[in-house]
Structure 1
Amino acid sequence: MTFRTRFAPSPTGPLHLGHAFSALTAFDMAQAAGGTFLLRIEDIDSTRSRPEWERQIHDDLRWLGLDWPEPALRQSDRLPAYRAALDSLWSQGLLYACSCSRRDIAEAASAPQEGAPLIGPDGPVYPGTCRGKPRSGPLPEGALRLDMARAMERLGPADITFTETGARTAPQVTARGMIDTVGDIVLSRRDFPGSYHLSVVLDDAAQQITHVIRGEDLFDATPIHVVLQRLMGLPTPGYHHHRLIRDEHGKRLAKRDDARALATYRAEGATPQDIRRLVGF
């Protein structure tokens, strides 16, 4: 199968050196394999996504020397696919509605009898407050969670394996570990019919991605994605989680760090070759 990978930024701020490193890593790996590099715009956060940031993403990547087939896939165009997947999981009894606020979850998770709240790859592990809600009838609006215990009963830990070629070693996944340390993740929110976990899995399958190349900060989320792939009968790509670009204090770069935005370097006269050197190529 032809090597296909993607770079999937969110148009919520300027691209910085960390984005450049990730995009260049994916592009160079695709070029070396004679494959295809794709751009995907993950505008799932409708409250923060802006058209001007989307245009800036295209400009910065073109300036770096990257190219991709047009048009780029945009998550906001994929709502019917996300809803269809939610309908399917709901009909199988694998989802339940959740009305808890973040404050409700924090208070329940930190109750004295619970001890210190457990933090998983999706944030505080959900204490199961709404797990007993009815699961019949049409797909409800609002937040929906995956019942991880039912999912693992359906699959078993032997199915939650993936190939990792990057900076980390693929973990040994157990059913109890997924239930206790990941928990019932959100698959749909009140303001968007799909979460990051659901949309990224469906979009990778739709774009026939064979290799997911991304930062190691997303490594712990990969078993979640493999669970969803197995539940929905989708292929599991290979994964390559690369090192992160950090500042002089060892902190991962963020979009609010304008000093390291690509647009700032461009305005100061930097070349694409300068950017490659700065990120360690």
Structure 2
Amino acid sequence: MRTRFAPSPTGPLHLGHAYSAILAHDEARARNGVFLLRMEDTDMERCRAEWEALIVEDLSWLGLTWDEEILRQSDKIDIYNARLETLGESGLLYPCSCTRGDIRAALAAPQEGVVHNIYPGTCRGRTMASRKPGDALRLDLSRALEALSGHVLRFVETGPAHEGSHIVDPEQARRTIGDVVLGRKGEDIVAYFLASAFDDADQAITHVIRGEDLFEFTAIQVILQHLFGLPTPIYHHHRLIRDENGKRLAKRDDARAIRKYREDGVTPDDIRRSLGLE
């Protein structure tokens, strides 16, 4: 078993991050496996070295250790872009000049309660030869699914809410995913789900353990894995840690930051007990 914890260094870790990290770490240790730490730091505007340092400090305080050097996605932008170009050469990408705000929102990791707006195809039909500086690259999903017509897009889920074997349905994918943005060259930005799929393959990850808010993104990752000939790991989407009002914790919930608990004299064992991980 090889698994990972992959935070974005854009703020402090909170209890939800701790739950995910401990769950993955303990599962790897119980199975004599490998636990890795990856920094998903492709958002150059928001990621900070001081946040990364705090993440490492918090995880170490929680008693977690990782078995290889920390991988930073910011060190691999050129690799991601080179792989992305192969899709363009296959006729599966098209340039998009839609608003920067729309594209940045599409590139971000998902947030619970945010409705995913299916792209209407405004720039579909443009050729890669028409690409201009600042254009984003979108996956032509219909063409991609046609290219994978002989593939069974299957993945296994072990999380309690979606346990079982799943097959990505092409028609549903067209309705619910659409032509997603995969990157924007020149700004060194790649989509969360693209970089994550590449890194899981490059690090030989066999089990992906993450929050259930990411479950819906698994379908597009499976599609990308098949397009690039990458293996599909086993997925486990765990419950989310919520506040007293049932709201999912976010990095702005500084009162629940691990740093704050440390400063207040809470112990790592206290954190585990509060999360039901004794």
Q: Is the pair's TM-score, using the shorter chain for normalization, greater than 0.5?
A: yes
What secondary structure, in the 3-state scheme, does the structure 1 residue paired with 2:273 have?
helix
Q: 1:89 to 1:44 in 2, by over 3 A?
A: same
Residue 183 of structure 1: aligned partner? 178
Cα distance, 1:158 vs structure 2: 5.3
Cα distance between partner residues in 1 of 2:196 and 2:159? 19
Query: Counterpart of 2:145 in structure 1: which amino acid?
Result: M
Query: Counterpart of 2:212 in structure 1: which amino acid?
Result: E
Cα distance between partner residues in 2 of 1:100 and 1:141? 10
1:196 has 2:192 as partner:
yes
Where in structure 2 are the equivalents of 1:90-239 lying within 5 Å? 90-101=88-99, 123-136=116-129, 142-156=135-149, 159-169=152-162, 171-189=166-184, 191-239=187-235
What secondary structure, in the 3-state scheme, does the structure 1 residue paired with 2:156 have?
coil
Q: Deviations over 1:43-87 (max 9, x none)?
A: 011100011000000000000000013420000001121011111
Contact 1:215 1:244 survives alignment (8 Å):
yes
Cα distance between partner residues in 1 of 2:207 and 2:115? 22
Count of residues paired in the alignment:
265
Cα distance, 1:141 vs structure 2: 5.4
Contact 1:122 1:182 survives alignment (8 Å):
no
TM normalised by structure 1 equals 0.89
Q: 1:80 to 1:142 in 2, by over 3 A?
A: same
Where in structure 2 are the equivalents of 1:245-264 lying within 5 Å? 245-264=241-260
Contact 2:155 2:167 survives alignment (8 Å):
no
What secondary structure, in the 3-state scheme, does the structure 2 residue paired with 1:78 have?
helix
What secondary structure, in the 3-state scheme, does the structure 1 residue paired with 2:37 have?
strand
Q: 1:142 to 1:136 in 2, by over 3 A?
A: closer
C-alpha RMSD of matched pairs (Å): 2.1
Cα distance, 1:103 vs structure 2: 7.0
Cα distance between partner residues in 1 of 2:86 and 2:161? 33
Residue 2 of structure 2: aligned partner? 4
Residue 110 of structure 2: aligned partner? none
Contact 1:97 1:145 survives alignment (8 Å):
yes
1:243 has 2:239 as partner:
yes
Cα distance, 1:139 vs structure 2: 9.7
Which 5+ residue runs of structure 1 have no aligned equivalent? Answer: 106-119
Cα distance, 1:189 vs structure 2: 2.7
Cα distance, 1:121 vs structure 2: 8.5
Bigger mean CA deviation after superposition, 44-53 or 151-160: 151-160
Cα distance between partner residues in 2 of 1:132 and 1:104? 19
Query: Counterpart of 1:178 in structure 2: which amino acid?
Result: A
What's the % identity of the aligned pairs?
58
Query: Counterpart of 1:202 in structure 2: which amino acid?
Result: F
Residue 42 of structure 2: aligned partner? 44
Q: Deviations over 1:4-35 (max 9, x none)?
A: 00000000000000000000000011011110
Bigger mean CA deviation after superposition, 153-162 or 183-192: 153-162
Q: Deviations over 1:165-186 (max 9, x none)?
A: 0123254532111111110011
Query: Counterpart of 2:146 in structure 1: which amino acid?
Result: E
Cα distance between partner residues in 2 of 1:91 and 1:223? 23
Q: 1:162 to 1:252 in 2, by over 3 A?
A: same
Contact 1:38 1:72 survives alignment (8 Å):
yes
Q: 1:273 to 1:157 in 2, by over 3 A?
A: farther
Contact 1:15 1:57 survives alignment (8 Å):
yes
Q: Deviations over 1:142-171 (max 9, x none)?
A: 310001101111113852210000123254
1:277 has 2:273 as partner:
yes
TM normalised by structure 2 equals 0.90
Select 1:19's aligned residue among 12, 17, 20.
Answer: 17
Bigger mean CA deviation after superposition, 189-198 or 68-77: 189-198
